[in-house]
Structures are given as structure tokens and as C-alpha cells.
A = this chain, B = another copy of it.
Amino acid sequence: MIKTHSIYLVEDHIIVRNGFKELIENMGNYKVTEEFDNGKQLINKIHVGQPDLIIMDLTMPVMDGKATMRWLKEHNIKYPVLILTLDTSDKTIIDLYKSGVRGYLPKTCTAQTLKSAIDNILTTGYYHNELLSNALLRNDGYPVRDERMEILNLCSDRELHFLRLVCSPDEFTYEQIAQKMDVHKRTVDGYRESLFEKFKLRSKTGLVLFAIKNELVPL
């Protein structure tokens, strides 16, 4: 007697969800024990049952797949997650893989591929395929960014200089930065406010994160 594994399905399109549900339950030893329209619904009930696997779409209303993965990671919840979606950009795949997904499949995959992905995750803890490896290799481990140039163009030289000083490991205050840049304290305030406004930031911490994420400063 083979144990039946419990699977949660998170997918907003009910038709698609029913399709996958049937597909999965026809495999024999899997049962879809819970279904959710979006990530919010999932995390609200995540402490109720104990799924062996969560299969989730990426584009969903209210709380999408990425946000859900972030939440799960933040709350240290480690049920394996298999992403099933149409979005297969390198950036998306890498982001998700970084937030801890165990496998990634296009919705267009065959039933057989889906089955082997599920099997693999449940037995070995993960499913690896070309999508992940290729995305990683193509990017040499770094996220893809066209945005970078755009951002650089939006910033003046002095703003970038300021940004680099903000990210210095010496942890300068704005006053020290003003000295280093040989301008007034308030001028530096201006650089900060300008960057805050342009990139919707609210704090020095935000500046640092923004600069690093967009590779505007060397690490």
C-alpha cells in the first residue's frame, strides 16, 4: 500500500486548477487536499494542515507567487513548492529559486513531466531541469538587469557619488558625506530627497538596498 501524498494547489483560474487537479489525482498516489485562489488564502491556512507539496501559479490576484514565497521564507515555512507558470524569464526563475522553490515548470509541460517533477521533489526534495540550470548559467549567478542603465541615466554624477558614500562600509553619516563631497549638509539632503523621490524610497537603508540590488555600487 502506497502512501497518498497531500498536495495543495494555488491557482486563481478555476478551470486551470481543476485541470491540474484531475491530472494530479489520476497519477494515483497524490491527492489535492486543499485549493486556493491566491497566496493570501494559502498563508492564512498554512498552519492548519501539513501538505507534502505545494503547487503554485505565479500570476495571481491579491498575493502573487513571488510575494507568497517571500512570506513563506520569512516565516521559515519549508513545505516544498513547485512553481507551475507561463512566465519563464531568467529573472523570474532566479528570483524564485533564490526564495527557495524546489522546482519550476512551464504550464505547458506534459503530464509525464509534471509527474516526474512531483515524484522528484517528494523523494529527493527538489526537481531540477533545464529552466533553472540554464537561467543560472546564462546569468552567471547574477540577476538580469536592463534597468540598471535606465537608473544610471536618471542619476546625476553627484547623486551617484553620494550613493556610493552612503553604501561605504565606513557607515558615514550624511554630515560626514557632506564633508567628503565638499558640499553643505543641506545639499546632501537634496541628493537624498531627489533619490527618494525618483525611486520611491523612504530611508537610508532603502538607498543602500536599492543601490546594491541595481548594482550601482561595487560590493
Q: How far is the CB of A127 from chain B (nearest CB, A)?
A: 9
Residue on B with the closest CB to A212? B212
Residue on B with the closest CB to A137? B126
Residue on B with the closest CB to A210? B169
Contact indicator A171/B212 (Cβ below 8 Å): no
Number of copies: 2
**Interface presence of A203 (CB below 8 A):** yes
Contact indicator B171/A201 (Cβ below 8 Å): yes
**Interface presence of A100 (CB below 8 A):** yes
B-binding segment of A3-11, A37-45, A128-136 = A128-136
Q: Which listed residue, B125, B126, B137, touches A128 by the CB 8 Å rule?
A: B137
Contact indicator A136/B212 (Cβ below 8 Å): no
CA–CA, A137 and B218, complex, Å: 19
Contact indicator B203/A171 (Cβ below 8 Å): yes
**Interface presence of A55 (CB below 8 A):** no
Kindly identify, within residues 146 to 191 of chain A, every residue whose CB is under 8 Å from any CB belonging to chain B: 161, 164-167, 169, 171
CA–CA, A73 and B168, complex, Å: 12
Kindly identify, within residues 9 to 68 of chain A, every residue whose CB is under 8 Å from any CB belonging to chain B: none
**Interface presence of A192 (CB below 8 A):** no
**Interface presence of A89 (CB below 8 A):** no
A191-204 Cβ-contact flags toward B at 8 Å (1 or 0): 00000000001111
Could you show 19 A-B contacts with beta carbons less than 8 Å apart? A74-B161, A74-B165, A76-B161, A97-B136, A97-B137, A100-B140, A102-B137, A125-B137, A126-B134, A128-B133, A128-B134, A133-B133, A143-B219, A169-B209, A171-B201, A204-B205, A205-B208, A208-B208, A212-B219
